[in-house]
Amino acid sequence: MFDAYGPVCPPLEIAKVIAKRKHNVSVVSTKMSDSIRKILKSCHIKPIDLNVKIVTRRGPSISWFEAWTREAFFNLNSRSFLPDGDVVVNFSQTIAVPATVWYVQGPTTDFLSDAEQTFPMHYRLPYKILKPLLTQTDNRLIRHMASISKRIVANSKFCASMYEKRGIRVHSVIYPPLDCSIFKPTSTPSGDYVLTYSGKETEFYALKKIGDAGVRIKSFGYKAPYIPKKILEHKNIEFLGKVSSKELVNLYSNALFTLFTFTHEPFGYVPVESMACGTPVLTYNHQGPSEAVSSGATGWLVNTDEEITRLAIRLWKDSYPSIMRMKARRRAMLFNVKEITEKWLQVIEGGILEENIQT
């Protein structure tokens, strides 16, 4: 079982399945943990760690931004690696190398722009000053990576639209895969809490309002560069931090519903993981999550913070039809790794002799 989250999941899950088909697979990363390296080797996948020296030590999100900065401004990451496989699938925004397929998961500056309102005050002024330069540099990097990629695949229709607005042709959309043999209902749900995710894209204002109304919330996640003190010390919000995949599956399975308040989300791993565990999702009716959640069937889509607060309180008090759990599980199967991998094999024409996958 991979204890990996978000954009790291697609290359790992796809590499795993392709390796089982007796192809030579390599996974390349700017920085790779010992645990991921061991898992890759156990799956007969060659790990290639570029061992990029990250100066920042303030969490994964800031480290990710530093890795992006190294490539966007100085091309430092791509200088460390020259791909030599017959087929190169690049899942990265931080390693600009020639690729057979570039899997785009969202421009960096679109996220920064949407999340600006949640930045701590000491980040906001520097960001406002640097925003034009960051946007120009990100656009230049995107155009360069597109020019050296034969085919571009996006992780959602919304994600594709962000690149197409920049004049980049996206050839197809393939949603990220989820191993639904791991993410599945584990027990009769206790339903005595609401689960949520706290990360770099979380909208904390609505989360606090819901907690203030008496809704018991459990929150997981470790990629947020900061979490407001009012959230960490809230009497109705229990912050769990980083959890294992096994713990996460149990958390999803026992939640009354999963609450996903976000500022920017190209796809939405949390809603799909939750539905796979049979738990409906309450989230916003835009961007990637609106493509995953079927409103009224596998969850609820709303337009404003006020609507999400009112509905969360009502669901906490009155619950919902139990058949929604079965529908949620059925919906999530559309993202199952087996089906998604078949789509990847259709995109990559011919036999796969070697995969170089960058994360």
Joined tokens for residue 188: 């009769």
pTM of the model: 0.91
Percent pLDDT > 90 in the chain is: 64
- Cα–Cα distance between 86 and 297 in angstroms, integer? 44
- Distance between CA 50 and CA 52 in Å, rounded? 6
The pLDDT tens digits for 156-214 are 999 999 999 999 999 999 999 999 999 999 989 999 999 999 988 888 999 999 999 99
Residues in the chain: 359
Do 224 and 202 meet the contact criterion of CB atoms below 8 Å apart? yes
Please tell me which residue, 358 or 137, carries the higher pLDDT value: 137
Q: Which domains does the chain have, with CATH numbers?
A: 6-177+336-358 (3.40.50), 194-334 (3.40.50.2000)
Half-sphere exposure of 2 (CA within 13 A, CB side): 25
78-130: pLDDT as tens digits? 887 777 777 889 999 999 999 999 999 999 999 999 988 877 788 889 999 99
So what's the pLDDT on residue 308?
97
Supply the pLDDT for residue 59: 63
User: Three-state SS for 26?
Assistant: strand
pLDDT band at 58 (very low <50, low <70, confident <90, very high): low
Give the pLDDT mean for 23-44. Answer: 87
The vertex-18 CA angle with 15 and 21, nearest 5°, equals 150
